[in-house]
Each structure stands twice: as structure tokens, then as C-alpha cells.
Copies of this chain bind each other. A is one copy, B any other.
Amino acid sequence: MAELTITALAGMPQVQPGHDLAGLLIAALAARGMVPRPHDVLVVTSKVVAKAEGRYRDLATIVPSARAEAIARRLDKDPRLVEAVLCEAAEVLRCGPNVLIVVTRHGLIMANAGIDQSNLDPEDQGRRVLLLPEAPDRSAQGIKARLDAHFGVDIGVIVSDSVGRPWRLGTVGLAIGAAGVPALWDRRGESDLAGRPLQATEVAFADAVASMAVLAMGEAAEGRPAALVRGLAWRAPARPAAALLRPRAEDLFR
């Protein structure tokens, strides 16, 4: 893959629950005259996936548990938001002043279970929150199936999110869902052109693609919720984004 191009797709309408997201993506590609080719990868932000899937929770309908109330007091957050986070969490990892980091039911480690009120349109602020897609690998698979059928190709789809990290400042994009790509690419045992073993290991392929695509898409308010990445090459079977989750027993930093 000597040359890659990443084209952010602008001009998509605001996505609402029940919208046909795959159809909107197909239209956005068509509007730019882009016909996906094999090994193209379409990166879609989790925000629009979650919106299309109607993954909202109305704050008014949430009754905080005693635990949520206690955490909310410690964090100075809305107890209904904390309750929404706990509902999405398999485990609370860190809970301190202004920070609530959990393992989500998907196995992702995220502040506020990926629920971010800053993810919301202004009219939703304080009224409802947007959760992550329920099963992002399945979401990616569904979008891929529609695009493959429409364009008659076998493309990759990545559902991206933007996260903070231990050790380093600043957010980066990563892949929370993937279909048709080796989200984790095991390069051990490969050889280079001279036949020497490639001194490589497992590459977080989908995370690397997502991080650059998220940069190209920019922030939510910039209205580019998807990007087509062209020029990637891989020799490995497709694996979902779940393959990127480090098993707890092998994780030295929880």
C-alpha cells in the first residue's frame, strides 16, 4: 500500500432514528461520483450509526439507582446520566473527580461508556443521551452487506469512535466495529520479498485506519460522518473489531 487516499464524505443529511444509513452512505458516495472498489474501506462514525439505530435514552425516563446517585455526587454529574452509563457498563474501572471510566458491555474501555452529551445536537442537550451502537461489529456487517449488494463489490466497513487513552493526551479515532477487514492483522510468519521472515507482529489495522479517517472527518459539527479509504492492501482473513479487545487476563493496565 504505497499510496492511500482518504476522502471524507460531506453533505449527508442529519441522521435520525429509523433512517436508512446505508442508503444515505450510498447516496453520499454517488454524489461524489465514487464507486467503491475491492479493498476500499468505508469508515463511519459511531454517532451516525447510533442515531440511525435510535440508540437514545430520554433522561426523563431514567430513574437513578442508589449507586448512580452516589457516584453522581462524587463526580458532580447528572445522576440520570450516571445511571445510563452504569446500564451500559460491565465494570467500573475508575471513578474519581470528573471521570468515570468503564468497561462497556462490548468490552470497550471508555469514559462514560462512550455516552457523551457533547455528542448530541444542541436540541438534545439535557434531554436525552446517545449510547454507542448496541453491537458495532454487527452494524458494520449490516452496512457492508448493503453496500456490497448495491455496488457489487466486497468492501470493508469500520465503525469509528473517538477516545481518550492512558499515558497520552488527546483523542484518537479507533475501530469499535468492523466487517470485511482484518481488524487485527496477524503478520507473524510472513516473509518479505527477499524471503526473510517479516519482523512483524500483530497490527491494529482497523484502529490505524479509523484514527486517520476520524482526523479527515473532523469533529461532529463539521458534518462529515464517513470517509472512504482507498489503497489499502491486506493478506489476512477478515476479523471483527472485537478481535482488538485485549483479554483482561493479559492486560497489565486496568
Contact = CB atoms under 8 A, between A and B. Distances in A.
Interface of A: 1-8, 10, 94, 96, 99, 101, 109, 118-119, 122, 165-174, 184-185, 187, 192-194, 196, 198-205, 207-209, 211-212, 214-216, 218-222, 224, 231-232, 243-246, 251-254
Determine chain A's interface SS by DSSP, over half rule. mixed
Contacts of A207: 168, 170, 172, 211
Taken together, the copies of this chain in the complex come to 2
Contacts of A199: 118-119, 219-221
Nearest to A233: B218
A208 to B, nearest CB: 4
Contacts of A169: 184, 202, 204, 243-246
A218 B198 CA distance: 10
Contact of A202 (B171, B211, B215, B253): B171
Given A1-B218, A211-B211, A184 B196 contact: no
Contacts of A184: 169-170
B221 A198 contact: yes
B252 A172 contact: no
B215 A208 contact: yes
Nearest to A232: B215
A4 B212 contact: yes
Given A109-B167, A168-B244, 4 more contacts: A165-B204, A170-B207, A173-B208, A216-B231
